[in-house]
A and B are shown apart, each in its own frame.
Chain A
Amino acid sequence: MKPAPFTYEAPTTLGEAVDVLGRYGDEAKVLAGGQSLVPVLALRLARFEALVDLNRVDELAYVREDDGAVVIGAMTRQATVEADPLVARSVPVLAEATRLIGHFQIRNRGTLGGSIAHGDPAAEYPAVVTALDATVTVAGPDGQRQIAAPDLYDGPMTSTLSDDEILAAVSFPVWDPGSGFAVREMARREGDFATAGTVVGVTVTDGRISRAAISLFGMGPVPLRARAAESELVGADASGLDLAEVGAAAVADVDPPSDVHASGRYRTRVASRLVARALESALQEASR
């Protein structure tokens, strides 16, 4: 469990980091909190000629409000996101989801951008990005571009960033007043990746649901949106819902994987109940 040799690069600005990365092309990998990358290197499941360490790029660590959105720099530690007052106020489900990532030691090192770039299908942040319709800003040799949430992932642990691009920031839109959110997951142990999980957001206007988002994680190769169930919700009376039915609709079309921890059948059954639980909680929050 020792990594193969690599060159270590430690740029201090985003521009410099993009330049260094460009020099190596697909022979280099960006190092953020290292919580996913380092084990992969130690097991020699992957090897790179160089690691480009972003830990000295201070300009990538921030949380700020910008035009109806909360924008968070990629190198912001998960522990910072968890404790940030602006996040708590404007994107509370992001803070709630953060508490489900590993243990505090991991959140002290792990970054928002690292988790989202890594794109583990069972991870919380990608599911929040997917549910909230967040936008990702990436920086590459040709400057910056935006990627909308639905276009971010190709497959398990595969984002649509190209090898010479760096995820710079994520912009989480702030939903209208009258919105509520919840994240629910089943994990084998405290702090584990989810066996199955869901992020739910709803906006209730005059007693009726005017906006709904349900994302599922651990349920497929990428975080999924339960679009059919969402459209059933929009326009519905917020107090007269059959939650179990919504849960069942949310998982109707998914085909989750089986592994040593659970079968796909178990995941489907549990996800449907988690959606019901999350929706109940989100509706309560929306009507507060």
Chain B
Amino acid sequence: MTAVQDGAAPQTHSGVGRFLGQSVKRREDARLVTGHGRYIEDVLWPDAWHVAFLRSPVARGRITTLDVSAAAALPGVRAVLTGADLNPLAKSFWQTAMGKDSPQPPRRLLATDDVRYAGEPIAMVLAENRYVAEDALELIDLDVDAQPAVVSDHRGRWGAARDEELVHPEYGSNVASTLPYPGMPTENPALEEVLSSAPHVFEERFHQHRYICVPMETRGLQARWSPDRDLLEIVSSTQNVHEVRSMAARLLGLSEVQVQARAEDVGGAFGLKCFVDKEELAVAAAAYSQQCAVAWIEDRNENLVAGGHSRTEDLTVTMATDADGTILGIKGHHVEDVGAYPTYGVGGNAGLAMMMLPGPYDVGQYFYSAEATFSNTCGMTPYRGPFLMETVAREQLIDIAAAELGIDPLEFRRRNMITTEQLPFTTPMGLVLETITPIQTLDQAAEIIGYEDFRREQAAAREQGRILGIGFASYIEGSPAFGAAGAEQVTVRMDMQGKALVFMGSGSHGQSVETTMAQVVAEELGIDIDDVRIIQGDTTSAPYGTGTAGSRTATTFGGAARIAGQKLREKILAVAAVALEASPDDLEVADGVVSVKGTPGAAVTVEQVAAMAYAGHTMLPPEMEPGLEAKHRIRNPPLMFSNACHAAIVEIDRDTGAVEIKRYVVSEDCGNMINPMVVEGQITGGVVQGIGGVFYEHFVYDGDGNPLTTTFLDYLLPTAADVPDIEIGHVVTPSNTPGGFKPMGEGGAICSPPALINAVRDALAPFGRLPNVQPLTPEVVLDVIDGTAAV
């Protein structure tokens, strides 16, 4: 596939080079795996006051008593702040990506008058340490007059009493948002026509339960307001320091030059830390109002109960096919529970799910509608693959339809997938797919897992009473890079020694950015990777950016790094050309040396070039600017795509319903890989989260909105013992963006749930229908085997 040239600079599309495309070992690992990572809790200021939040014990109710005087009087306590103290400080409260005017629930730092979910912060203690702060919490006199809560249960039955009890009376309705957007057509008559005339119509409602980001490092933020320096300093465990700065400045009515934010190592986030929520802002507000340093480290209990929740949705998919299984049309209706205070806007993911539901298929007619609903539960927050419900539902319905039509599920997919010949392909939503390879990845996954052989093995195993199944799922990973997120900048600066510092607005929280971006820059500059250092996570040094999220780092920062590197290389050659009295076109740079092509004797080191660029500027021609620094701010399309196919083989214990994953295969095409090992690490981590979501993790509320899974005793994460070896194959089709990279960070989590569920469904086929529920607990599975399932 040929590359479109970016206008800004010439470029080459070599997939593999000295560093690029190599499985360079992660430079982060030496410190991280030896316990020398430095997280926010490792850098707490000695004079910081430690925060503990008093949180609502019930889902909904009126606060009748709130007396903090005894707590405030406890020795070691500096202050106990309530909503009455802090909320007036909040000048404005909205996330940059959503904009000031987009609808959202009424925002407040601390609850006053009423509470709207169990865990909502009501007061904050500032004490000399967290122990004393928690002692003080016990002294706060709180009475809440509980009221009936609006709660959805995990099987997707949304509360009938929907609009009788309002989560947010100010909002006027429990419906947070709907699709189609106002002004868009409310139906697709051509699709209705197809649905009423097609030979086959399949319709299923799929449910995805509540499961959540559980980073090893929880949230945390410390802030210090120094009136003398006119400065609010913030250190936060975040994916996006610039957003921390913007949110804090807006909240307190400060200008962005009065606020500095930075991050240390960030021990995972998965989406939880790409926005800034009320606890973090309350800490900043407390520091500002108390004129001191304040620190909050979220504990695991808080993280589970109030750290932001995800998934929790139903998607009904209706699909029409002809007699041969060719898809003629698809309709989706999506219902999401966004909790009380979703972290961004009104929180729904349907807007993007709507774009992506057709996936890698040519689906004919299409329509999508959605409704996001508030409830008295913890608010929705993005979690790796936030809109993955489209893949979870579509890939299951395909297996169900294929089975009913008697068509092999792989054959069904191949028949409907967009072929290379159809590219560029414009989807019903107007997305243009240019370089996807769904059939190639499907075929590769089938080959690696040995599909035909497995079917024989499965038949033999069934004879012996063993229960084996295989499942496939395919998807397109769409990486949203809307607005500023599609225009990231990288600045490369070479100082007198000829080594490069690379500044970027990314926020690595496990993505190996320090390694991969150094590979890109070292490749372009022709210097050693050890002579390149990535500087990120600091608003005082990084160009404005939107952090690391949405699978964009390789495509946006990577593309920008590549072009910035190219620009700087040109400058190096131009300076060297002066020194060597040659034309820049005749020069090349490698291993830190610039030489005349074909005349290796005529050479100068990059270090000498650097010295000349600064100290020897008088030797440079007058029109040449001294120094060695280049930047590039990229302009990427608002959505970029990769694709993959996942395949799983499971065996089920017929006495207990326990599922063992025997094999797990991924075939993916993320274009040129900067570092194949890092790509595989990202996929593996995502798949593990899918395994957790399908079989183990479930945040449960009772009917009154009380959280039941508040520690790791009941919120079950997959451990190494529950995860199989994950086998990965690659198809490499470069994208048309600089570098040929494609987004891939979330796909592991997006495609694994349906692949696993399909495998269980296939295994259970001889017994009966697997109900469309999640998680697939041993009990759900055993009910099918024993014929006691309540479908």
Bound together, the chains give a CA A262 to CA B655 distance in angstroms of 14
Q: Which of A151-159, A189-197, A205-213, A225-233 contacts its partner?
A: A189-197
Bound together, the chains give a CA A39 to CA B713 distance in angstroms of 10
Bound together, the chains give a CA A285 to CA B708 distance in angstroms of 42
User: Mask for B687-727, Cβ within 8 A of A = 1, else 0?
Assistant: 00000000010101000000011010110101101100000
* Interface secondary structure of A, over-half rule: loop
Residues of B within 8 A of A260 (CB): 698, 700, 708-709, 714
User: Mask for A177-219, Cβ within 8 A of B = 1, else 0?
Assistant: 0000000001011111101000000000000000000000000
Judging by beta carbons under 8 Å apart, are A273 and B777 in contact?
no
Q: How far is the CB of B303 from chain A (nearest CB, A)?
A: 10
Bound together, the chains give a CA A277 to CA B718 distance in angstroms of 26
Residues of B within 8 A of A192 (CB): 716
Bound together, the chains give a CA A274 to CA B657 distance in angstroms of 12
Judging by beta carbons under 8 Å apart, are A2 and B131 in contact?
yes
Residues of A within 8 A of B300 (CB): 1
B166 CB–A CB distance under 8 Å:
no
User: Knowing A44-B134, A186-B658, A189-B696 touch, does A262 contact B716 (C-beta < 8 A)?
Assistant: no
Judging by beta carbons under 8 Å apart, are B656 and A273 in contact?
yes
Residues of A within 8 A of B716 (CB): 188-189, 192
A270 CB–B CB distance under 8 Å:
yes
User: Knowing A5-B131, A262-B779, A266-B779 touch, does A189 contact B655 (C-beta < 8 A)?
Assistant: no
Picked from B130, B656, B709, B721, the residue with its CB within 8 Å of the CB of A190 is: B721
Bound together, the chains give a CA A261 to CA B300 distance in angstroms of 20
Bound together, the chains give a CA A266 to CA B722 distance in angstroms of 22
A108 CB–B CB distance under 8 Å:
no
B301 CB–A CB distance under 8 Å:
yes
Judging by beta carbons under 8 Å apart, are A269 and B131 in contact?
no
B324 CB–A CB distance under 8 Å:
no
Q: Which residue of the partner chain A has the closest CB to B302?
A: A1
User: Mask for A124-140, Cβ within 8 A of B = 1, else 0?
Assistant: 00000000000000000
A241 CB–B CB distance under 8 Å:
no
Q: Which residue of the partner chain A has the closest CB to B154?
A: A260
User: Knowing A44-B134, A260-B700, A277-B655 touch, does A191 contact B711 (C-beta < 8 A)?
Assistant: no
A4 CB–B CB distance under 8 Å:
yes
A 1-46 contacts with B by CB, 8 A: 1-5, 39, 43-44
Bound together, the chains give a CA A2 to CA B782 distance in angstroms of 40
Picked from A2, A188, A189, A195, the residue with its CB within 8 Å of the CB of B134 is: A2
Q: How far is the CB of B659 from chain A (nearest CB, A)?
A: 11
Residues of B within 8 A of A4 (CB): 134-135, 138
Q: Which residue of the partner chain A has the closest CB to B715?
A: A260
Offer 21 A-B interface pairs, CB within 8 angstroms, sorted by A. A1-B299, A2-B130, A3-B131, A44-B138, A188-B777, A188-B778, A189-B716, A189-B721, A190-B721, A195-B778, A260-B714, A261-B777, A262-B777, A266-B778, A269-B782, A270-B656, A270-B657, A273-B655, A273-B656, A274-B655, A277-B655
A263 CB–B CB distance under 8 Å:
yes
Residues of B within 8 A of A2 (CB): 130-131, 134
Q: Which residue of the partner chain A has the closest CB to B131?
A: A2
Residues of B within 8 A of A269 (CB): 782, 786
Judging by beta carbons under 8 Å apart, are A263 and B779 in contact?
yes
Q: How far is the CB of A53 from chain B (nearest CB, A)?
A: 19
Q: How far is the CB of A50 from chain B (nearest CB, A)?
A: 17
User: Knowing A191-B721, A260-B698 touch, does A1 contact B714 (C-beta < 8 A)?
Assistant: no
Residues of B within 8 A of A1 (CB): 299-301
Q: How far is the CB of B126 from chain A (nearest CB, A)?
A: 15
User: Mask for B759-791, Cβ within 8 A of A = 1, else 0?
Assistant: 000000000000000000111001000100000
Residues of B within 8 A of A263 (CB): 779
User: Mask for A262-280, Cβ within 8 A of B = 1, else 0?
Assistant: 1100100110011001000
Q: How far is the CB of A102 from chain B (nearest CB, A)?
A: 11
Bound together, the chains give a CA A27 to CA B138 distance in angstroms of 19
Residues of B within 8 A of A191 (CB): 719, 721
Judging by beta carbons under 8 Å apart, are B718 and A189 in contact?
yes
Judging by beta carbons under 8 Å apart, are B301 and A5 in contact?
no
Residues of B within 8 A of A193 (CB): 713
Q: Which residue of the partner chain B has the closest CB to A266?
A: B779
User: Mask for B716-741, Cβ within 8 A of A = 1, else 0?
Assistant: 10110110000000000000000000
Q: How far is the CB of A28 from chain B (nearest CB, A)?
A: 19
Interface centre among A3, A261, A277, by most chain B C-beta atoms within 10 angstroms, is A261
Picked from B131, B698, B711, B721, the residue with its CB within 8 Å of the CB of A43 is: B711
Bound together, the chains give a CA A274 to CA B301 distance in angstroms of 34
Residues of B within 8 A of A (CB): 130-131, 134-135, 138, 299-301, 655-658, 696, 698, 700, 708-709, 711, 713-714, 716, 718-719, 721-722, 777-779, 782, 786
Residues of A within 8 A of B718 (CB): 189
Q: Which residue of the partner chain B has the closest CB to A3?
A: B131
Interface centre among A3, A188, A190, by most chain B C-beta atoms within 10 angstroms, is A188
Judging by beta carbons under 8 Å apart, are A190 and B778 in contact?
no
Judging by beta carbons under 8 Å apart, are B131 and A186 in contact?
no
Q: Which residue of the partner chain A has the closest CB to B700?
A: A260
Judging by beta carbons under 8 Å apart, are A270 and B719 in contact?
no
Picked from B655, B696, B708, B709, the residue with its CB within 8 Å of the CB of A270 is: B655
**Extra pairs beyond A263-B779, A273-B655 (9, CB < 8 Å):** A2-B131, A186-B658, A189-B696, A189-B718, A192-B716, A262-B777, A262-B778, A269-B786, A270-B778
Q: How far is the CB of B58 from chain A (nearest CB, A)?
A: 18
Bound together, the chains give a CA A44 to CA B135 distance in angstroms of 10
Bound together, the chains give a CA A101 to CA B155 distance in angstroms of 32
Residues of B within 8 A of A277 (CB): 655
User: Knowing A5-B135, A260-B700, A269-B786 touch, does A186 contact B778 (C-beta < 8 A)?
Assistant: yes
Bound together, the chains give a CA A95 to CA B676 distance in angstroms of 44
Bound together, the chains give a CA A166 to CA B656 distance in angstroms of 38
Judging by beta carbons under 8 Å apart, are B696 and A39 in contact?
no
Residues of A within 8 A of B696 (CB): 188-189
Bound together, the chains give a CA A273 to CA B719 distance in angstroms of 26
Q: Which residue of the partner chain A has the closest CB to B134?
A: A2
Residues of A within 8 A of B130 (CB): 2
Residues of B within 8 A of A5 (CB): 131, 135
Q: How far is the CB of B119 from chain A (nearest CB, A)?
A: 14
Q: Which residue of the partner chain A has the closest CB to B699?
A: A260
Residues of B within 8 A of A3 (CB): 131
A 243-267 contacts with B by CB, 8 A: 260-263, 266
Q: Which residue of the partner chain B has the closest CB to A270?
A: B656
Judging by beta carbons under 8 Å apart, are A43 and B301 in contact?
yes
Residues of B within 8 A of A44 (CB): 134, 138
Q: Which residue of the partner chain A has the closest CB to B722?
A: A189
Picked from B299, B657, B658, B714, the residue with its CB within 8 Å of the CB of A261 is: B714
Bound together, the chains give a CA A279 to CA B183 distance in angstroms of 68
Q: Which residue of the partner chain B has the closest CB to A273?
A: B655
Residues of A within 8 A of B655 (CB): 270, 273-274, 277
Q: Which residue of the partner chain B has the closest CB to A1?
A: B299
Interface centre among A190, A192, A260, A263, by most chain B C-beta atoms within 10 angstroms, is A260
Q: How far is the CB of A216 from chain B (nearest CB, A)?
A: 15
User: Mask for A43-71, Cβ within 8 A of B = 1, else 0?
Assistant: 11000000000000000000000000000
Residues of A within 8 A of B657 (CB): 270
Judging by beta carbons under 8 Å apart, are A186 and B777 in contact?
no
Bound together, the chains give a CA A274 to CA B658 distance in angstroms of 13
Bound together, the chains give a CA A195 to CA B658 distance in angstroms of 12
Bound together, the chains give a CA A190 to CA B698 distance in angstroms of 17
Residues of A within 8 A of B656 (CB): 186, 270, 273-274
Judging by beta carbons under 8 Å apart, are A39 and B721 in contact?
no
Nearest 8 pairs between A and B by C-beta? A190-B721, A273-B655, A1-B299, A266-B779, A2-B131, A186-B656, A260-B700, A2-B134
Q: How far is the CB of A284 from chain B (nearest CB, A)?
A: 18
Q: How far is the CB of B131 from chain A (nearest CB, A)?
A: 5
Bound together, the chains give a CA A1 to CA B305 distance in angstroms of 13
User: Mask for A92-112, Cβ within 8 A of B = 1, else 0?
Assistant: 000000000000000000000
Bound together, the chains give a CA A45 to CA B158 distance in angstroms of 32
Bound together, the chains give a CA A231 to CA B226 distance in angstroms of 78
